[in-house]
Chain A
Amino acid sequence: MNPLLTVDDLKVSFPTRTGVIEAVRGVSFTLGRERLGIVGESGSGKSQTGRAIMGLTPAHARVTAKTLSFEGIDLLSAAPKVRRDLRGKRIAMILQDPKYSLNPVMSIGRQIVETLTRHEKVGRAEARERALDMLEAVQIRDPGRVFDLYPHEVSGGMGQRAMIAMMLVAGPELLIADEPTSALDVTVQLEVLGILDKLVSERGMGLIFVSHDLRLVSSFCDRVIVMYAGKIVEELAASDLANAKHPYTQGLLNCMPAIGSDRHPLPVLDRKPEWAL
Chain B
Amino acid sequence: MTTATVSTENLVVTYDEFKALDDVSIDVAPGESFGLVGESGSGKSTLLRAVAGLAPVTSGKIRVHDRVLVGNRRDKAFYRDVQMVFQDPYGSLHPRQTIDRQLLEPLAIHGVADGERRILKALDEVGLGSGFRFRYPHQLSGGQRQRIAIARALILEPAILLLDEPTSALDASVQAEVLNLLEQVRRDRKLTFIMVSHDLGVVTHMCDRLAVMQNGRVVERLSSADLVAGRIGEDYTRNLMVASKGFQRKGAAA
Contact = CB atoms under 8 A, between A and B. Distances in A.
B172 A212 contact: yes
Given A187-B39, A187-B239, A257 B227 contact: no
B96 interface: no
A101 interface: no
Interface residues of B, number: 36
Nearest to A221: B247
Interface string A202-219: 000000000011111001
Main DSSP-derived SS at the B contact region: helix
A265 B176 CA distance: 8
Nearest to B236: A187
B142 A42 contact: yes
Nearest to A263: B205
A215 B39 CA distance: 21
B201 A256 contact: yes
Given A190-B247, A265-B184, A257 B173 contact: no
B241 A194 contact: no
B116 interface: no
B179 A266 contact: yes
Given A186-B199, A257-B205, A266 B172 contact: no
A139 to B, nearest CB: 13
Which has the most chain B C-beta neighbours within 10 Å: A213, A220, A259?
Answer: A259
Nearest to B177: A268
B172 A268 contact: no
B159 to A, nearest CB: 22
Given A186-B240, A266-B176, A268-B176, A216 B247 contact: yes
A193 interface: yes
Contact of B172 (A252, A263, A265): A252
Nearest to B249: A197
B171 interface: yes
Contact of A269 (B173, B202, B239, B246): B173
A216 B174 CA distance: 18
B94 to A, nearest CB: 22
A44 B57 CA distance: 44
Contact of A214 (B172, B180, B205): B172
Contacts of B173: 41, 251-252, 255, 268-269
Nearest to A271: B173
Interface in B158-174: 171-174
Given A256-B201, A257-B206, 16 more contacts: A41-B172, A186-B240, A188-B39, A189-B243, A190-B243, A216-B247, A219-B247, A219-B249, A252-B173, A257-B179, A257-B199, A257-B201, A257-B204, A259-B228, A259-B241, A268-B176
21 contacts: A41-B171, A41-B174, A42-B171, A185-B40, A186-B240, A187-B239, A189-B243, A190-B247, A194-B250, A197-B247, A212-B172, A219-B248, A220-B247, A256-B172, A257-B202, A259-B245, A264-B183, A266-B176, A266-B179, A268-B177, A268-B180
Interface of B: 39-40, 142, 171-177, 179-180, 183-184, 198-202, 204-206, 227-228, 239-250
